[in-house]
């Protein structure tokens, strides 16, 4: 379970989708993911009031074939396009520069499955 807290700093014209993925960083393979409008589709970004905090919960279920290892938890926003694609928002750095189109929150360790005896 993942709970994110968002606070709009200015009005947002578009309705963005939040993504949260557990990925293998060298191949960028997604082993668990959640893509949804904030707050279970109940708080579209265009309705956010400046300064208001939005609680946004996601369930990430690992694929059964996920091998043991260390993975990254990445999050971000994207805007679906008319052709079925998407455009991710870029992270803006403190000095106003543009960074990646995702942010890593933490690492996740996947342990080997244990047999139930």
- Contact by Cβ (8 Å): 38, 51: no
Neighbours of 83 (CB within 10 A): 6
Average pLDDT estimate for 1-11: 95
pLDDT higher than threshold 90 for residue 115:
no
Give the H/E segment covering residue 90: none
**Helix or strand or coil: residue 39?**
helix
Q: What confidence tens digit (pLDDT) does each residue in 33-87 have?
A: 999 999 999 999 999 999 999 999 999 999 999 999 999 999 999 999 999 999 9
pLDDT higher than threshold 60 for residue 117:
no
CA–CA gap between residue 47 and residue 66 (Å, rounded): 37
pLDDT higher than threshold 60 for residue 91:
yes
């Amino acid at each position: 379970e993942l709970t994110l807290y968002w606070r709009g700093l200015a009005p947002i014209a578009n309705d963005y989708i939040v993504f949260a993925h557990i990925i293998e960083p060298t191949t960028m393979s997604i082993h668990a993911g959640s893509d949804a409008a904030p707050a279970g589709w109940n708080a579209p970004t265009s309705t956010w009031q400046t300064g208001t905090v939005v609680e946004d919960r996601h369930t990430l279920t690992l694929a059964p074939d996920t091998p043991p290892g260390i993975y990254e938890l990445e999050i971000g926003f994207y805007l679906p396009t008319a052709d079925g694609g998407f455009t991710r928002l870029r992270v803006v750095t403190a000095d106003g520069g543009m960074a990646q189109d995702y942010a890593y929150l933490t690492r996740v360790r996947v342990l080997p499955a244990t047999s139930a005896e």
